[in-house]
């Protein structure tokens, strides 16, 4: 048996998981933007205020990355995760601004075992992040691959 807490079998349809909280700092927003998305509204408070985002705002891809970190810390690093084939949809619904406190949750919407690799299953999840005012700022739908508990144990 694997020592990991979460394997494919644990993701029952309807399971809801708390993704914890994340305070978004101006320094992190600027650091990510300098490396990956150097548009003015992600680098500078005044440019952000002048844009439709209304303030220094995280790159949408930064929000995706922060979501991934929340997912890792919540349960993914303690799971049999084998990665994901992609993303079905991302919605950047509202700006994520410097000083925002994000909270997150996800729900398991479906799952199925792989036809070609029965030791592996796909878990479809719908995830959401909210800001400190309870506004939904981010939604993501995708499927993540997990080993079954038995397969993980035999590989460990």
Site residues (CB under 8 A) for its own copies?
Answer: 32, 35-39, 41, 51-53, 59-62, 64-66, 68-69, 72, 76-77, 81-93
Q: What angle do CA 103, 131, 92 make, to 5 degrees?
A: 100
Is the Cβ of residue 1 or residue 38 nearer to its own copies in the bound state?
A: 38
Transcribe 6-71 into DSSP letters: B-GGG--TT-EEEEEEEE--HHHHHHHHHHH---GGGT-HHHHHHSTT-SSB--HHHHHHHHHHHH
Q: Please, which residue, 2 or 14, has the CB nearer to its own copies? A: 2
Which of 14/27 has CB closer to its own copies?
27
**Alpha carbons 58 and 64: distance in angstroms, whole number:** 10
The CB-of-153 to its own copies minimum distance in angstroms stands at: 16
- Rounded to a whole number of angstroms, the minimum distance from the CB of residue 88 to its own copies is 6
Nearer to its own copies, 38 or 110 (CB): 38
């Amino acid at each position: 048996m694997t020592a990991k807490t979460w394997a494919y079998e644990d993701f029952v349809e309807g399971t809801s998981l708390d993704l914890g909280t994340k305070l978004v700092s101006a320094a992190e927003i600027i650091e990510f933007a300098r490396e990956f998305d150097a548009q003015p509204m992600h680098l500078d408070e005044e440019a952000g205020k002048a844009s439709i985002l209304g303030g220094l705002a995280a790159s949408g891809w930064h929000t995706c990355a922060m979501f991934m970190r929340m997912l890792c810390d919540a349960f993914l690093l303690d799971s049999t995760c084998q990665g994901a084939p992609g993303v079905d949809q991302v919605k950047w619904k509202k700006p994520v601004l410097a000083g925002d406190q994000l909270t997150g949750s996800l729900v398991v919407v479906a799952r199925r075992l792989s036809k070609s690799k029965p030791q592996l299953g796909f878990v479809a999840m719908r995830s959401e992040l909210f800001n400190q005012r309870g506004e939904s700022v981010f939604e993501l739908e995708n499927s993540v691959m997990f080993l079954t508990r038995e397969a993980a144990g035999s590989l460990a």
